[in-house]
Amino acid sequence: MHTKIYFNDKPLFLTDSITPEIEPYAHHDDAVLIDEFSHGGINSMIHEMRLEKVHAGIYIHNNIEELKKAFWKKFILVKAAGGLVLNEAGEGLFIFRRGKWDLPKGKLDDGETLEECAVREIQEETGLQEVELKKHLVTTWHTYDESGHHILKETWWYLLSAPGNQSLVPQTVEQITKIEWAKPADFGKYTSNTFGAIHDVMKAAGY
């Protein structure tokens, strides 16, 4: 069992064991491994993950929830939701924002469920009027700094469908400049220039 947090596109694994997914990182010279549970160890790992020379981190502790709780205290938690939208032809919807291909998503509003947030953000960012939520795919975490604060964004990703031939309108106020439907055979064109978390979403969806 593990939780993965992205620092930019660098994964930090909070784990109770070295799983097959983590194993390749454990032997890299540019990965940091810590197995001492302490506030100093947590601060050290966060510092190391921000160094250019470090490309992955592994923090081992036998109680994952205790480790997550200690890490979460170092950040302001922001919740968001979005998803992979498929049309009737089985094509996936990608948006182009700030130089990378992405999937539509956004922050949770007060009083809103994560499912409602995913549908609303997809409609706002793509112009789709009708989308149907199918199932939860995966939850991802990534960090960034904003106004001097360390933010940890928890994003809930869903699989959704868009019936019919609906118009697409990029939400330019959110710096979205292009929206494209892509056949699964062409997904690689988009995922070759995207974020680490999006690879996790696509994998969870079976692509």
* Same domain, residue pair 101 and 200: yes
Q: Residue 27: how many CA atoms within 13 Å on its side-chain side?
A: 5
What would you report as the CA-atom Rg of the chain, rounded to the nearest whole angstrom?
A: 18
% of the chain with per-residue pLDDT over 90: 92
Q: How far apart are CA 26 and CA 157, in angstroms?
A: 28
pLDDT at 27 over 90: no
pLDDT for 143-189, tens place per residue?
998 888 899 999 999 999 999 989 999 999 889 999 999 999 999 99
pLDDT for 111-145, tens place per residue?
999 999 999 999 999 999 999 999 999 999 999 98
Q: How far apart are CA 156 and CA 80, in angstroms?
A: 6
* Same domain, residue pair 15 and 107: no
* Same domain, residue pair 146 and 177: yes
The residue that leads in pLDDT, 9 or 139, is 139
Q: 24 is written with which tokens?
A: 């390749």
pLDDT value for 146:
87
pLDDT value for 47:
94
Assign 43 a pLDDT band (cuts: 50, 70, 90). very high
Asked if 108 and 135 touch (Cβ cutoff 8 Å), the reply is no
Q: How far apart are CA 71 and CA 34, in angstroms?
A: 13
Assign 205 a pLDDT band (cuts: 50, 70, 90). very high
Q: Structural domain tally of the chain?
A: 2
Q: How far apart are CA 54 and CA 10, in angstroms?
A: 8
pLDDT value for 28:
86
* Same domain, residue pair 137 and 123: yes
* Same domain, residue pair 146 and 163: yes
Q: How far apart are CA 34 and CA 41, in angstroms?
A: 7
**Position 207, amino acid:** Y
Mean pLDDT of 105-109: 96
Domain assignment of residue 43, given as a range: 2-72
Q: 127 is written with which tokens?
A: 């112009």
Q: How far apart are CA 59 and CA 87, in angstroms?
A: 40
What are the φ/ψ torsions at residue 9 (nearest 5 degrees)? -105, 15
Q: How far apart are CA 153 and CA 145, in angstroms?
A: 11
Q: How far is CA 87 from CA 59, 98, 164, 202, in A?
A: 40, 25, 8, 15
Neighbours of 169 (CB within 10 A): 14
Neighbours of 160 (CB within 10 A): 23
pLDDT at 56 over 90: yes
* Same domain, residue pair 96 and 15: no
% of the chain with per-residue pLDDT over 70: 100
Task: Calculate the average pLDDT of the chain.
Answer: 95
